[in-house]
Amino acid sequence: MMKTFCGRTNPTSGALDWVESEEDYHQEIARSCYADMLHDHDRNEKYYQGIRAAVARLKARDERVVVLDIGTGTGLLSMMAITAGADFSYAVEVFKPMAEAAQCIIQKNGFSDKIKIINKHSTDVTVGPDGDMQEKANLLITELFDTELIGEGALPSYEHAHQNLVQEGCEAVPHRATVYAQLVESELLWSWAQLQSMEVEGARLVPPPAIGHCAGAHSVCDIQLSQVPPACFTPLSPLCTMFSVDFSKPVSSASQSHSSKFVAQSGGRAQVVLSWWDLDMDPSGTIVCTMAPSWMYPQPTMAPWRDHWMQSVYFLPVESQVAPGDELSLTVCHDDYSLWYSLQSLSQKEVQSESPPSRPCCTCQAHLVWTRPRFGELNDRRRTESYVSALRNVLSEDSVCLSVSDGSLLPVFARMLGAKKVFSLENSRMSKKVIEQVLEANSMTGGVELLEIRPEQLSSQDVGEEQISILMGEPFFSSSLLPWHSLSFWYRRTAVAGLLRPSVTILPCSASLHMVAVEFQDLWRIRAPCGTCEGFDVTPMDEMVQRSLDFRESREAEPHPLWEYPCRALTQSAAVMTFDFTRCVPQQPISSQGSLPFIRNGRCHGVALWMEMHLTDDITVSAGLTRPITEQGDCEWTRHRKQGVYFFRSPWESSGDGRTAVSYSFTFEPSLGDIKMDFSQCTSVSD
């Protein structure tokens, strides 16, 4: 067992701490996407079909089949190749824990004499009598792709392989990749890219010009696009074929651009590009593995589910108006690791220079401070109305407010509502600058004082000897991962207790932790045991690796944006812990126990957990469910925050008659700022 250092959010301080972990590398494997890939039967089947066809073509030419498998993972694709008749495979895996696991797997399945694991990056592999490979390969098999296709360095790896590791005219599986894109207008998606104007008590809060003119962050927004209904966007273009890469021929990692001309099929605001890709596993394109979202299928329910490859959303640098019939050109550019898009009318394109658009870069800093879900949260009108209503209820003309959230607009709202003075603690200089821009754009620089200081360092001199009458927070903290990390607000409230008036108003006044037992439609696959792959007679998981994937022994929840992962509630939802922010953080642990009867039949994969903030006695903001669970158990989750998911080691069967229940135990440890939890299946108390 080796010790490792892991980054963990410290809720008591809001900082990221590096802690020594006693867990061995099995945990590293468990938290990767290997289980998801091994459960992707469509992917496995298409790869196996392509490999068998490629081996057959080489054998038909009387060639000895030598495989180079880059990014072998568990060794599955190499084992497929040997089973299909290949003579030998060099399986390259740079991630040491996975390379060691792959060695055990191929040994267990009897392939040790025909597969060599090479624990290196493929660009460091050598060929020759004393090299890692004795000879160059004539069959190149790879799984180097991410949601953006090239984000894991596929192009440099292919370029090096063709120059150094494979024969000229080799076969490749996959043979070809093709990238597709569609231009759309979408109020929902665009809200993730730009801060929008909003109404506050009859006054308009406008975004700073610098944010509106900024091209935004260059990184891809990868999501389960199948969960964005077609009603949420308007297609302005047909589906465009942007470019293809033939992996059987030399590949260049140099920056390139490709354009697709089209006639606008409808009018609207050109804002967003939806993109995905296909893999042709054979030269004829008869074996295709597509990443298209489910609504592109004639029968959406037949679309394969996968989480290791999703779809991409790209935001144009600026939105532009498009009329039906406009002749346009959509351009995609890429370097060796990322893609970006731009739009031109054909008349504009003729007079513009031939140099491709440069990669978008944030110049306003807001896109570095706020994530895309955070932009969506700030633009959520209903949520804004809740905070404004709560502030209106507690503010008076002599109110002195202190905000302890990260990059929050609450100080701006408080000033607009007439607070005498507003102080705001900002976690970074960059965050402070962004809020300063908002204040300047709305001519409010004199009423809000931004302090780049930690709560425990705040003194009465910093707030002008004023006593704080309203302490507020959303609460949002950029370092938070799990829902209860928002309890950092409680610790900050405690740190500044000496500066608060005896009659201080705390907003939110309390919070509650909620849970519901659920059956996931697909998310369960990422933590499900992996046995024999369907349609292929090898076991990709041996006992060691299976233990890796069964990481739930650690009794920890993990964060997931559940709006992307449909689930069905098998119990009622319930508040299982409450936290009173009007008091300081207690020194002793807080515990809660109980049970929730199963009221619907199904397979219970685990528990969903979220926080609800009670701004006042009658105004609550949920970071989980956005509406009551339906009679069928359907859940609707906020798109702005991740929820906690605690997976059970194996699914529990529920008959839905209330005879069995989920028994829970929660303990909040004030010294750690964390919540320990345990669940078990029991006979319902009501039985």
Q: Which of 333, 365, 397 is the last residue of a domain?
A: 365
Is the four-CA dihedral 486, 33, 101, 646 of positive or negative sign?
positive
- Banded pLDDT at 275 (limits 50, 70, 90): very high
Whether residue 22 lies inside any domain: the answer is no
Q: Which of 365, 398, 431 is the last residue of a domain?
A: 365
pLDDT digits over 657-685, tens only?
999 999 999 999 999 999 999 999 998 76
Q: Who contacts 470 (Cβ-Cβ below 8 Å, separation ≥6)?
A: 394, 395, 399, 400, 401, 402, 414, 419, 504, 505, 507
Helix (H, G, I), strand (E, B) or coil at 506: strand
| pLDDT number for residue 527 | 84
What is the C-alpha separation between 103 and 431, in angstroms, rounded?
A: 47
Q: Find the mean pLDDT for residues 221-232.
A: 97
- Banded pLDDT at 529 (limits 50, 70, 90): confident
Q: CB–CB of 22/1 below 8 Å?
A: yes
| pLDDT number for residue 45 | 95
pLDDT at position 539 over 70: no
Q: What secondary structure does DSSP assign to 212-268, as a single string?
A: HT-----S-EEE-GGGS-GGG-EE-SPPEEEEEEETTS----S-EEEEEEEE-SS-E
Q: What residues pair up with 203 in beta bridges, in sequence order?
A: 200
CATH number at residue 473: 3.40.50.150
Which position has the token pair 């491709």? 356
Tokens read off for 126: 């050598």
Q: 431 and 299, same structural domain?
A: no
Q: 434 and 386, same structural domain?
A: yes
Which position has the token pair 């990184």? 219
| pLDDT number for residue 23 | 45
250-282 CB burial, b ≥16 within 10 A, e <16? ebebeeebbbbebebeeebbbbbbbbbbbbbbb
- Given phi > 0 = left and psi -120 to 50 = alpha, else beta, which region is 169? left
pLDDT at position 213 over 50: yes
> In terms of Cα–Cα distance, which of 636, 656, 662, 633 is closest to 568?
633
pLDDT digits over 610-656, tens only?
999 999 999 999 999 999 999 999 999 999 999 999 999 999 999 99
Q: 454 and 397, same structural domain?
A: yes
Whether residue 21 lies inside any domain: the answer is no
- Parent domain of 431: 380-507
Q: 185 and 164, same structural domain?
A: no
| pLDDT number for residue 543 | 43
What is the C-alpha separation between 458 and 461, in angstroms, rounded?
A: 8
Q: 182 and 314, same structural domain?
A: yes
- Banded pLDDT at 16 (limits 50, 70, 90): low
Number of domains in the chain: 4
Whether residue 541 lies inside any domain: the answer is no
Q: CB–CB of 179/150 below 8 Å?
A: no
Tokens read off for 125: 């592999």
Which position has the token pair 């992707």? 40
Q: 216 and 156, same structural domain?
A: no
> 196 to each of 112, 137, 380, 525, 662, how far by Cα in Å?
59, 55, 10, 37, 43
What is the C-alpha separation between 673 and 488, in angstroms, rounded?
A: 8
Helix (H, G, I), strand (E, B) or coil at 524: helix
Task: For residue 127, give the DSSP letter.
Answer: B
Is the four-CA dihedral 173, 340, 235, 352 of positive or negative sign?
negative
**Annotated catalytic, 564?**
no
Whether residue 56 lies inside any domain: the answer is yes
Q: 206 and 352, same structural domain?
A: yes
Q: 163 and 64, same structural domain?
A: yes
Q: Find the mean pLDDT for residues 265-278.
A: 97
Tokens read off for 176: 């070809």
Which position has the token pair 């409450």? 578
What is the C-alpha separation between 559 and 555, in angstroms, rounded?
A: 14
Q: CB–CB of 248/171 below 8 Å?
A: yes
Q: 329 and 182, same structural domain?
A: yes
* Given the residues 152, 385, 436, 466, the one annotated as active site: 152
> What are residue 478's phi and psi, to 5 degrees?
-65, -25
Q: CB–CB of 427/433 below 8 Å?
A: no
pLDDT digits over 361-405, tens only?
999 999 999 999 999 999 999 999 999 999 999 999 999 999 999
Q: Find the mean pLDDT for residues 1-5.
A: 45
Whether residue 465 lies inside any domain: the answer is yes
In the chain, what percentage of residues exceed pLDDT 90? 84
pLDDT digits over 338-358, tens only?
999 999 998 765 545 556 778
Tokens read off for 403: 């905000």
DSSP H or E stretch at residue 683: strand 674-683
Q: 190 and 164, same structural domain?
A: no
**Annotated catalytic, 143?**
yes
Whether residue 89 lies inside any domain: the answer is yes
Q: 168 and 190, same structural domain?
A: no
pLDDT at position 24 over 50: no
Q: Find the mean pLDDT for residues 229-234.
A: 97
* Given the residues 93, 143, 519, 612, the one annotated as active site: 143
Q: 676 and 624, same structural domain?
A: yes
> 93 to each of 35, 50, 117, how far by Cα in Å?
17, 21, 7
Higher pLDDT, 355 or 61: 61
- Banded pLDDT at 454 (limits 50, 70, 90): very high
pLDDT at position 36 over 90: no
pLDDT at position 58 over 80: yes
Q: Which of 173, 192, 216 is the last residue of a domain?
A: 173
pLDDT at position 447 over 90: no
Calculated CA dihedral for residues 245, 247, 249, 251, nearest 10 degrees: 60
Whether residue 391 lies inside any domain: the answer is yes
What is the C-alpha separation between 183 and 194, in angstroms, rounded?
A: 18
Whether residue 409 lies inside any domain: the answer is yes
What is the C-alpha separation between 261 and 269, in angstroms, rounded?
A: 18
pLDDT digits over 567-597, tens only?
999 999 999 999 999 999 999 999 999 999 9
| pLDDT number for residue 292 | 98
CATH number at residue 231: 2.70.160.11
